[in-house]
Structures are given as C-alpha cells and as structure tokens.
C-alpha cells in the first residue's frame, strides 16, 4: 500500500470531531478503498482543553493553524473553521501557496474567494475541493462536475438550506406562523440563535453561486445572486399554496444564457411554489436536494442530509479519498482562466407564473383596485382567492392572493408599483414564483 | 491541450447513436472539461447501411468489432452491443487484454462476468467503467463508489427498472390490471415485445448485484439474487396498499452482514410496499432511483432517467471524461483480489412487516382457515382486509389481504406452507414486504 495521506485538521467543532470519529470508525475500509490510509497528524482549534467527545491523543497540536502550511509532514489541510475571511482564509491561502491540498466545508469562503483560491491551487498544483460546502453529505458537486460532465447544464436548482426547509415543512404540517416555528427550530437546534444568515437566504445563496459556477463554467458571482428570505411567509400563504396543489420551498435557481460577449447568468434564491408532484415537494425537514437539468441526461436529482456532523464529515472525507486516489480535477471543473465572464441576467424578461399575496384592509373597492392595477400592467390573472369567510371579517386585515398566467416578471413588478403607496395595503405584497 | 482520447464504438443502436449525437453537440464543452477532446475514430455494428439518423462519415468502419482491440489508434472501446456473452464479451476480453479501456452499458455482461473483466482490467492497467449499466443516466455508481466512499454502506436499494415502474405507476393511476397496462406499455415502447427480462425482475437483479458488490466490497454474486417479478400484482393489491398508505414499487434491496469467515450477502428484487412519505414513493413512470444508506452520510438518494438514448449516452460519456481526466479507480472500487467472498444470507431470520394477499373462494370458514394458519405459525396480524361488498359476492373469488406485525420471514413462510394445497385457495398467496 502507498504512503498514507497525512492531514491537518483546523477547527474542532461538531464537523471536525465528526471527521475524527469517521476516520476512527471507517479508517480500515477507507484505506482499502483509497489504496492508502488517511491519517490525521495535526489539529488546531481555538480552545485546546475543551471536551469534544473525541480523543486528540497522537495528533500534534498547534495554537496557530496557519502554521500547518509549513509542516513537512502535512499533505492536506482540512479547514473546518468557517467564516468567509479571517483565519480560515488566511489558512487557505497559506496552505495552497505552500502546495498543500485544501479541503473545506466553508461555503462562505468559497463563494467569496473561490476564484482566488482556485487560481492559487492551480498555480501550486495543489488539490482544492469543497464537496461539504454545498448540501452537506450529498455528493452534489461530484454529481454535477463529474457525473453530469457530458451535459450542457440548462438549469440547476434545489433546496439548499435545511433550516429554512425545516421551518417551511413545519409550518405546513402544523399550520403555525413563521415566528412560532422559528422559535421551535431554535429550541431544537435546527436554527441558530441569530438565524438571519439562514432565513434571509444568504447561506443558500453561497451554495447557489458555487453550483452555478460549476454548472455553467462561469466565474463565481455571489454578489449578483438575487436573494429573498422566508421571513415574510405566512401560514395563510402555505394554506393557499396547498389549496392550489403546491408547497412552498426556499429554492436556489440558476441558469445561463450565452450572450454576444458575456454569458447572462441568472441566480436567484427565493421562496417558490413547487407542484406537489415534483420531487422537491417531497423534500421535507432538514433534507437538501439538488436538481441538475442536462441537455442529454435530463433531470438528475441528488438528495440527502444537508447538514449535521456525520453527513458533513462524510463529504469531507470523500474529498480526501479522491485526493488520496489522485482524482483531482480543476476546482471549478475548468481551469480558472477559462471560466467565462458573466453579467447578471435581466429578470424582467423572464416568463413565470407568479403567486402574489396582499394583506389588505377589508373594505369596498380593494379588489377592484388590485385587479385594475394588474389589468393596467397587462398581467393576466389565472385564479384569485380571498381568504376568510364573510362573517369573520371584522375589520382585521384580509389575505388576498392570486396566481397569474405566465408572463414577464416586469409585468407583475409594474402592477405592484402601481399599487405602491395605496392606503389599502397593510404591508408590501409578497411575490413567489411557481417552479415551472 | 493534451492528446485526444480516441474511442471505438461497438453497437450503433439508439444508445450508440446517442453517444455520437452527444459528442457532436457537446464536444467542445467536453474537451474543455476533460482537458482533451474525445474523438470517435472507429465504429462497428451488425448492419453497415442502416439509417441511424447520424452520420458515420469520418469514422473507420469494421465489420468485426473485436478487431478494435488490435487498432493502435484506439485508446478506449465503448461496448453498446448488449448481451451477457457472445460478441460483447468477446470484445470486452480482447480489448482489456490489449490494454484498451472499456466503457460499457451492458449490465448483463457485468453482472455475469464483472469479476473476470475487472481482473483483466487490473492486470493490463486498463480502465473499465460501466456507469450506464446501472440506472441509466444517473451517476449512481459514481455516487456510491466515490461520493459515499467514506461510509460503510448499511443498505442499498432502489427502483432499478423503468419498465416495471412505468407499469406499476400506470396501474396505480388508472386502476387497471397488469395485463392491460403491459399491453399499453408495449404499444408505447416502454416494454419490449418479450417483456420477461424486465417484468420478471432479471434486469433489476443484474443492476442490484453490481451495486451490492460496489457497496459492500464483496465479489459479484448475481446467481444468488432472490428475484420476484411484478406479473402477479393485481389492481386490488395496489388499491389495498393505497388504502394503507403505501404504493407498490419493484425494489432491488441489498445488505451485508459480516460473518465469522464469509460475509452474508442479502440481495433481493421483489415488489414491495413503500410508504407514501418515502422518497421512492414519488418515483413514478420510467424514472429510476438509488438509495444508499451510509453509516455517516445517512440516506443518500440519486434519481433520474433510468433509460433512453440521451441519459444512457450521458453516463457513457461521463465515464469517458473520467478516463480522459485520469480518474480510474478499480472497477469495483477495491482491487478484485481484496473483494470479500460472500454467502447468501438466510432470509428466514429477517424481520419484516409483510403484506399477504389471498385469492379465495368466498365460502364460510375461509377466513378462519387463514387466521388459524397464521396463529399456528406464530404470525401476528396487524390489519386484515376483505375486498368487495357482501352484495357483490356471487361465488367469484375474493381478494383477502393482511399486513403482519413485524416478525421473521420464516413465520409467514410456515403459515403459507400450512395453507398449501387448501381447496379454498384459488391461486398461491402473494407476499410483499413493507419497506422499513
């Protein structure tokens, strides 16, 4: 058997401890599969003494994780510290510059600095892999970059944030409102104390930007992702969607049109209405799923646990096995220099069916006002629902929702601008697209 | 850019023509992703003159495909002829012996001769890959052997035959009986004129045996797969299952227990009851799906088109891209010499909940006879359903079904042996396990 692959582990939170446990439990099997053993030689974290439920005996301890880059006995650095910048980025730069491999679960760092790090990896012939950064334990990066490599990818989309999916699933099951379910998710550990990063869609946007670059061969463009979170969704929206045969999922969706000079990249994270017959409608709880539509393969779906120490460790170690086996394609499938520049697509021309929801004062003329605005903007209404029975109307705001026929996004945007400032509107209307 | 990867294509049916179309449509993209172009240099098929909708200009034609093995200008042979033996096997042996790579979509050949071919590939340092042999366009082999490589696989199962799944889905949607729907499937091209290979489960068994060897690191053992087809399923079974919250799917299921000396490998293809909430319940029509349960990753699902020229070509070319990139792990993930011997597991000790259906003469005492047999065999009944309203009973056979509490398979087998030869039984009882 060949020489062991020697790794240094930076960050000993739940995922770092998971990697240690996984290598202890499955190490013999992994050595047989990889053709060589994978051995942890050094570790680093903020606090040395903390009890993590795993033994650190036999691993060299460094207080300064960036010193891994200088250790001759380290082949690959595994970065599980997190954060787009700071120590994680400093470590990544130093490790790659020193020709060490870098395996990371850090979606924020890859979304922000993936191009720089990939160029550094190429320049130093150092492996850079990040399967665990997208969709936890699911081999979505591998499925896309290798499994679907024969295809022009026409669209990529998926359920990319387990916290949001847990909340939306729970709202649907219990009929409870967003705030209630968020509090429960926090109590159960499915949502952070500060949940903004998840529920505002930023985490999903990081993952989507990475998938889009891989799928379309474009340079990473995280800042252009159009992001809407789930915090404005009401129990009433979920009920209305259900009555129409849809469930609500926070989706990341991307596609790319070849332009005259630059590709037009569309990237959006937003809650969408998904038909109950679609595979993503069955993705409940903290599960993630990624769909890639290839021009020959058709629709491929990859589904599994989107987070958690075991699944994330599984993805990290899968990357290590690939490095041990010598399967090291370019980090973004193509060499960085040949990734295409892109500009954000103008969404105004995109044609969708939209769910539009209004919270309105229940008084005469409100529906006429809404329908007139739609008419004046050229928006055709497919169905229209006013929630609540007449005898329950006691001056409280009423939820009114509609589904439009397919039309350009600009149409609905114009209609809503016509209603802007209307005294009938208790809050801004909420638009969610129907997954087509 | 490196030298092209030069391929010879044996078999120009729908998949072969699909590979030609795919390389023509996506060739530039593939060359960028693989770092080198993939070029067809020679082709062979039974009839030279046939119109296949693709041009063969520029490809060398050979009447005898086994001569590919002797061509210096060929790096990889793509075998799309089919059949477990005969010309396909002769070509595979000669190509690998000559050190050529072999890419195949031939599940029967791999299921029967995979060990021999893998050994030959290793001995000659020749790549051997067969992604297209299992689950069409889905990168299930890659997902399992690479994506889930860090895991001990606890169970692998899936919907592996699109024809059967189409028939079962259609029976469920329309309420029609098996024979009717099979005839429709044949008319639509979803089933062969001789459908035995699909509906009796043989095709799914080929795929399951391949997945099991990969998942558990055991030698291929196709002959030991316990196979039951779908031809005995009645519309009444689907209705009963539906009433209980289940759908019927033909599943391939495998797991493996470490034994004292040899591993105990369980491999079964049989129609099963799948809870409507399970992801496989949503796999309808000609779609395939593979589930791998890893000891760290948890449940991973890979889903997509299980057949068709485009998806199958996508899988074939993904293998070619891997070869072009130099990603060539051992054909069965481990070197052949280190694959474990296995013996078939004794299913009698396995604990399941079973659906058992009887077609009986409608006369006094039949239910007492069945329930007595269950009691005498120690089988505990969870629910019991007799189909049909009393006023419809006019001496025609009646469908009676039950679901057992969890118990050993041997219990139900014993109960059925007690009923063997009973004049009340119009046909042999049908047993389907509930997916747990």
Q: B273, B230 in Cβ contact below 8 A?
A: no
Architecture of the domain spanning B349-434? 2-Layer Sandwich (3.30)
Min Cα–Cα distance to chain A from B339, Å: 10
Say whether A297 and B304 touch across the interface (CB within 8 A): yes
CA distance B13 to B88: 14
Phi, psi of B359 (to 5 degrees): -105, 115
What percent of chain A has a predicted confidence (pLDDT) above 90?
Answer: 89
Q: Which residues pair with B351 in a beta bridge?
A: B408
Residue A393 scores a pLDDT above 60: no
Locate the chain B residue with the closest alpha carbon to A136.
Answer: B297
What percent of chain A has a predicted confidence (pLDDT) above 70?
Answer: 97
> Residue A1 — very low, low, confident or very high, per pLDDT cuts 50/70/90?
low
pLDDT of residue A96: 98
Say whether B296 and A303 touch across the interface (CB within 8 A): no
CATH for A140-305, among 3.30.360.10, 3.20.20.370, 3.20.20.60, 3.90.1170.50?
Answer: 3.30.360.10
Say whether B26 and A295 touch across the interface (CB within 8 A): yes
Say whether A143 and B327 touch across the interface (CB within 8 A): no
Q: Is B371 annotated as a binding residue?
A: no
> Residue A375 — very low, low, confident or very high, per pLDDT cuts 50/70/90?
very high
pLDDT of residue A105: 97
Q: Is A11 annotated as a binding residue?
A: yes
Residue B262 scores a pLDDT above 90: no
CB-nearest to A313 from B217, B296, B326 is: B296
| Residues on chain A touching B320 (C-beta within 8 angstroms) | 150
Q: A9, A91 in Cβ contact below 8 A?
A: no
pLDDT of residue A396: 81
Q: What is the mean pLDDT of residues A394-405?
A: 88
Residue B100 catalytic? Answer: no
| Residues on chain B touching A137 (C-beta within 8 angstroms) | 294, 296-298, 300
What tens digit of pLDDT does each residue of A251-263 get?
A: 999 999 876 678 8
Q: What is the mean pLDDT of residues A60-82?
A: 96
CB contacts < 8 A, A to B, total: 204
Residue A128 scores a pLDDT above 90: yes
> Residue B388 — very low, low, confident or very high, per pLDDT cuts 50/70/90?
low
Q: What is the mean pLDDT of residues A255-277?
A: 91
Q: What is the mean pLDDT of residues B38-53?
A: 94
pLDDT of residue A364: 84
Say whether A295 and B25 touch across the interface (CB within 8 A): yes
Q: Which of B94, B100, B207, B414 is catalytic?
A: B207
CA distance A71 to A7: 10
Residue B391 scores a pLDDT above 70: no
Q: What is the mean pLDDT of residues A388-400?
A: 69
pLDDT of residue B386: 77
Q: Is B414 annotated as a binding residue?
A: no
Say whether B150 and A326 touch across the interface (CB within 8 A): no
Q: What is the mean pLDDT of residues A119-140?
A: 97
How does the average pLDDT of chain B come out, rounded? 94
> Residue B190 — very low, low, confident or very high, per pLDDT cuts 50/70/90?
confident
What distance, in Å, lies between the first and last C-alpha atoms of chain A?
Answer: 51
- Long-range contacts: B403-407, Cβ < 8 Å, 24+? B403/B244, B403/B353, B403/B354, B403/B355, B403/B356, B403/B434, B404/B353, B404/B354, B404/B356, B404/B374, B404/B379, B404/B380, B405/B353, B405/B380, B405/B381, B406/B351, B406/B352, B406/B353, B406/B436, B407/B351, B407/B352, B407/B378, B407/B379, B407/B380
Residue B107 scores a pLDDT above 70: yes
pLDDT of residue B116: 98
CA distance B152 to B218: 13
Q: Which of A105-109, A221-225, A309-313, A343-347 has the lowest mean pLDDT?
A: A343-347
CB-nearest to A304 from B152, B277, B297 is: B297
CB-nearest to B310 from A22, A297, A301 is: A297
Spell out the residues 6+ positions from residue B131 whose beta carbon is closer than 8 angstroms to its own: A147, B139, B140, B141, B142, B315, B316, B318, B319
Residue B387 scores a pLDDT above 80: no
Q: What is the mean pLDDT of residues A307-336?
A: 96
Locate the chain B residue with the closest alpha carbon to A281.
Answer: B282
Residue A8 scores a pLDDT above 90: yes
Q: What is the mean pLDDT of residues B84-112?
A: 97
Cα Rg of chain B, angstroms: 24
| Residues on chain A touching B24 (C-beta within 8 angstroms) | none
Q: What is the mean pLDDT of residues A112-116?
A: 98
CA distance A282 to B430: 30
Residue B221 scores a pLDDT above 90: yes
| Residues on chain A touching B147 (C-beta within 8 angstroms) | 131, 138-139, 142-143, 318
Fold of B5-133: Rossmann fold (3.40.50)
| Residues on chain B touching A32 (C-beta within 8 angstroms) | 217, 334, 338
CB-nearest to B146 from A297, A311, A322 is: A322
What tens digit of pLDDT does each residue of B312-332 get?
A: 999 999 999 999 999 999 999
| Residues on chain A touching B340 (C-beta within 8 angstroms) | none
| Residues on chain B touching A304 (C-beta within 8 angstroms) | 297-301
CA distance B227 to B196: 13
CA distance B399 to B93: 52
Q: Is B167 helix (H, G, I), strand (E, B) or coil?
A: helix
How does the average pLDDT of chain A come out, rounded? 94
CB-nearest to A304 from B149, B298, B305 is: B298
CB-nearest to B338 from A32, A279, A299 is: A32
Task: Look up the ipTM and state it.
Answer: 0.95
Domain ranges of chain B: 5-133, 140-305, 349-434
pLDDT of residue B62: 96
Locate the chain B residue with the closest alpha carbon to A323.
Answer: B327
Q: Is B17 annotated as a binding residue?
A: yes
pLDDT of residue B178: 95
Tokens representing B23 are 């390389």
Locate the chain B residue with the closest alpha carbon to A145.
Answer: B33
Min Cα–Cα distance to chain B from A271, Å: 22
pLDDT of residue A260: 66
In our burial notation (b when 16+ CB lie closer than 10 A, e otherwise), range A354-385 reads bbbbbbbebeeebbebbeebbeebebeeeeeb
pLDDT of residue B393: 55
> Residue B427 — very low, low, confident or very high, per pLDDT cuts 50/70/90?
very high
Q: What is the mean pLDDT of residues B242-266?
A: 91
Locate the chain A residue with the closest alpha carbon to B139.
Answer: A147
| Residues on chain A touching B139 (C-beta within 8 angstroms) | 142-143, 146-148, 300
Q: Which of A14, A36, A144, A147 to mutate to test the interface with B (most CBs of B within 10 A)?
A: A147
Q: A45, A80 in Cβ contact below 8 A?
A: no
Locate the chain A residue with the closest alpha carbon to B277.
Answer: A282
Min Cα–Cα distance to chain B from A238, Å: 19
Q: Is A192 annotated as a binding residue?
A: yes
């Amino acid at each position: 058997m060949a020489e062991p692959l020697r790794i240094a582990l930076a960050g000993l939170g739940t995922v770092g401890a998971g990697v240690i446990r996984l290598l202890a439990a499955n190490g013999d099997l992994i050595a047989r599969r990889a053709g060589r053993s994978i051995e942890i030689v050094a570790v680093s974290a903020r606090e040395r003494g903390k009890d993590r439920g795993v033994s650190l005996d036999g691993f060299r301890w460094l207080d300064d994780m960036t010193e891994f880059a200088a250790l001759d006995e380290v082949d690959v650095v595994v970065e599980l510290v997190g954060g787009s910048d700071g120590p994680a980025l400093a470590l990544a730069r130093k490790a790659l510059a020193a020709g060490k491999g870098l395996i990371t679960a850090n979606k924020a760092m890859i979304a922000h600095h993936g191009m720089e790090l990939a160029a550094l990896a190429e320049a130093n012939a150092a492996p850079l892999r990040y399967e665990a950064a997208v969709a936890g334990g699911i081999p979505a990066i591998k499925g896309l970059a290798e499994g679907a490599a024969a295809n022009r990818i026409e669209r990529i989309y998926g359920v990319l944030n387990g916290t949001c999916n847990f909340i939306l699933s729970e709202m649907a099951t219990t009929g409870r409102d967003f705030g209630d379910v968020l509090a429960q998710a926090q109590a159960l550990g499915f949502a952070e104390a500060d949940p903004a990063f998840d529920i505002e869609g930023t985490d999903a946007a990081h993952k989507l930007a990475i998938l889009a670059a891989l799928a379309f061969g474009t340079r990473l463009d995280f800042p252009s992702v159009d992001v809407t979170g789930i915090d404005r969704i009401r129990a009433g929206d979920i009920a209305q969607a259900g009555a129409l045969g849809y469930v609500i999922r926070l989706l990341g969706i991307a596609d790319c049109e070849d332009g005259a000079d630059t590709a037009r990249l569309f990237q959006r994270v937003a809650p969408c209405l998904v038909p109950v017959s679609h595979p993503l409608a069955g993705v409940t709880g903290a599960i993630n799923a990624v769909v890639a539509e290839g021009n020959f393969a058709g629709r491929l779906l990859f589904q599994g646990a989107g987070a958690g120490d075991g699944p994330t460790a599984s993805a990290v170690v899968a990357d290590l096995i690939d490095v041990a086996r010598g399967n090291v394609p370019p980090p973004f499938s193509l060499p960085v220099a040949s990734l295409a520049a892109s500009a954000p697509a103008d969404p105004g021309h995109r044609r969708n069916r939209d769910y539009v929801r209004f919270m309105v004062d229940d008084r005469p003329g409100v529906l006429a006002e809404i329908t007139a605005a739609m008419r004046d903007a050229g928006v055709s209404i497919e169905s229209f629902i006013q929630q609540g029975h007449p005898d329950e109307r006691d001056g409280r705001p009423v939820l009114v929702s509609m589904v439009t026929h397919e039309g350009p996004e600009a149409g609905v945007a114009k209609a809503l601008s016509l209603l802007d400032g209307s005294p009938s509107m208790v809050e801004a209307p909420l638009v969610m697209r129907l997954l087509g």
